């Protein structure tokens, strides 16, 4: 009994300290900082002024709405692309090559996100690889600037988020019994019926968990919107960066950061209610 308790504390204490010191404490400090306001002489007071600034200035909340909409769009596109990929690896491809195909998906993520984003910039820029081949083939008469627009930004965000949708889907689809699909075919069910009545309901936990991760990562992404979207692409994380680094207004930046956490959690809660999913079942 003593040995079991010792083993429990050996594993529990490091996890508890990691969660408490690196997640709970910083968020408490972030919240307290967001409630502080300072006047021009340096006097500190407690108020909701930093939160009121978010709703009183249209540029702030419109930027968040725009960021949330594009994050939802990226999540949906990622799910549409990732599902056939995961299904092919688990149910169509030869089992001997499934592991190799999964490694191919992982390989691009062995390098930094910055390197991958710069790789896309080399492909899409005006003097990049794609423009070079299009000019050589005579499909265009002059180079086209493919960077610094919302389409290229969404495309790169989907690419950088793909793995986080594929991995949960691989897990749930591997647990799907092939005999269920074969029995449905033998009973005369169409491919659409099998997809909607067997495969998708079984995959819903994986889709939901993947969607949560992709949405949160996209919503909080700073690098890709800044480098690929350019100055015309407003992203809420840039507003937070501006408050902390450019304006040195840490209290306002803390309020924006806490609002990002609160509003994104609210969006996820609404999504779980609409899809009738339970977060406990999703993370299992």
Tell me the pTM.
0.86
DSSP state of 94: -
In a domain, 48, yes or no: no
- List pLDDT tens digits, range 137-173: 888 788 888 888 888 999 999 999 998 999 999 989 8
In a domain, 256, yes or no: yes
**Distance of alpha carbon 199 from alpha carbon 229, whole angstroms:** 36
**DSSP string for 126-187:** TTSHHHHHHHHTTS-SS----SSSHHHHHHHHHHHHHHHHHHHHHHHHHTS-HHHHHHHHHT
CA-to-CA separations, 133 to 56, 120, 127, 138, 148, in angstroms, rounded: 49, 15, 10, 9, 20
- List pLDDT tens digits, range 207-233: 988 999 999 999 988 888 888 887 777
Q: Which residue positions in the chain have pLDDT lower than 50? A: none
Q: Could you give the number of structural domains in the chain?
A: 1
CATH number of 65's domain: 1.10.3720.10
Task: Provide CB contacts within 8 A for 70, sequence distance 6+.
Answer: 150, 153, 154, 157, 218
Residue located via tokens 């949960």: 168
pLDDT of residue 231: 72
In a domain, 115, yes or no: yes
In a domain, 25, yes or no: no
In a domain, 6, yes or no: no
| Token pair listed for 45 | 């007071």
Average pLDDT, the chain: 85
In a domain, 52, yes or no: no
- List pLDDT tens digits, range 265-278: 888 888 888 777 76
pLDDT of residue 73: 95
In a domain, 44, yes or no: no
pLDDT of residue 215: 92
Domain of residue 163 covers: 58-282
In a domain, 73, yes or no: yes
């Amino acid at each position: 009994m003593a040995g079991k308790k010792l083993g429990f504390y050996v594993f529990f204490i490091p996890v508890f300290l990691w969660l408490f010191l690196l997640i709970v404490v910083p968020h408490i400090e972030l919240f307290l900082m967001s409630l502080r306001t300072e006047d021009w002489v340096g006097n500190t007071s407690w108020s909701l002024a930093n939160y009121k600034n978010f709703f009183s200035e249209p540029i702030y909340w419109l930027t968040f709405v725009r960021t949330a909409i594009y994050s939802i769009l990226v999540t949906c596109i990622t799910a549409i692309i990732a599902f056939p990929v995961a299904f092919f690896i688990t149910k169509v491809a030869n089992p001997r090559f499934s592991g190799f195909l999964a490694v191919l998906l992982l390989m691009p993520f062995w390098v930094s996100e910055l390197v991958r984003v710069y790789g896309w910039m080399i492909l899409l820029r005006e003097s990049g690889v794609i423009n070079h081949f299009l000019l050589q083939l005579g499909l265009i008469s002059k180079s086209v600037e493919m960077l610094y627009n919302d389409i290229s930004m969404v495309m790169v965000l989907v690419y950088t988020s793909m793995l986080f949708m594929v991995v949960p889907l691989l897990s749930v689809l591997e647990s799907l019994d092939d005999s269920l699909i074969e029995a449905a075919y033998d009973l005369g069910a169409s491919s659409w019926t099998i997809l909607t009545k067997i495969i998708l309901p079984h995959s819903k936990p994986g889709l939901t968990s993947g969607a949560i991760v992709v949405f949160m990562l996209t919503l909080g992404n700073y690098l890709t919107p800044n480098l690929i979207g350019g100055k015309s692409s407003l992203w809420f994380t840039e507003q937070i960066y501006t408050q902390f680094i450019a304006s040195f207004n840490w209290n306002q930046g803390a309020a924006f950061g806490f609002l990002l956490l609160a509003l994104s959690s609210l969006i996820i809660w609404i999504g779980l209610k609409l899809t009738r999913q339970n977060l406990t079942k999703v993370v299992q």
